Amino acid sequence: MLSFFKDYKKFAIVFAIISIIIVTLIYNTLNVYQPLPIYQPTMVSTELVDSTIQYQKKYHKIADFSLTNQNGKTITQDDYKNKIYVADFFFTTCQTICPIMTDHMVDIQKAILNDDEVMLLSHSVTPKIDSVAQLKRYAIKKGVNDKKWNLVTGDKKQIYELARKSYLAVKTFGDGGTFDMIHTENFMLIDKKRQIRGFYDGTNTEDIERLLEDIKILKEEYLQ
């Protein structure tokens, strides 16, 4: 009987050690760094993608741009060189989803305020209405930090092409007038190579939390 308990004790110790090893291996496997996807036009709903690039499967990047921010400064891709940034499309007179989106962008601004790697970029889809003066008033009202966040206006055709051919964020149809760019609630996470790494519902708090986590994941990518 005593021999049985001795053998059982040995078995229990060996079993415990093997179990610890297995659990450790599983834990490490589940926690292996997983990079964010690189979004291509074929991965996005066709209603948000210009017909000329709907079948593009690789090499998609944000195009060069030249727009004007809330301070009258010309903003180009060079202002975002070697930066991670969050982009969206809005207009200052919007009374539906835009106020929620802007408030959430303010939350993101607070979270990345002291992070030199991350910036924000909001494009007006009604550039005729959203003059520099209008954007400045809106920026002051919302607490925009000029060093972190550019609200931009400019040539409507350029903004529309950026939305449809670069950020994949605006629907094709509209009313044919002032609001012929029907923007979505999407926030886009852009990496340092000007690639889209994530889409998020800018009206959804949980998605904003996911975006902030994805920024951390993306930053880790540059440490690999």
**Contact (CB, 8 A) for 160 and 170:** yes
What residue type is 186 in one-letter code? N
Distance CA 68, CA 91 (A): 15
Across the range 34-54, mean pLDDT stands at 94
Which single residue is written with the structure tokens 């002051």? 140
Q: 42-56, 69-83, 184-198: lowest mean pLDDT where?
A: 42-56
* 4/198: higher pLDDT: 198
H/E segment holding residue 205: helix 205-221
* pLDDT band with cut points at 50, 70 and 90 for residue 19: low
Q: Please count the other Cβ atoms lying within 10 Å of the Cβ belonging to residue 201.
A: 19
**Contact (CB, 8 A) for 123 and 135:** no
Answer whether residue 3 shows pLDDT above 90: no
What residue type is 130 in one-letter code? D
Q: Domain spans of the chain? A: 1-32, 41-221
- Edge-first strand order for the sheet with 118-124 is 149-152, 118-124, 84-90, 186-190, 196-201
May I ask the CATH architecture of the domain 41-221? 3-Layer(aba) Sandwich (3.40)
**93, 140, 154 from 96: Cα distances, Å:** 9, 20, 23
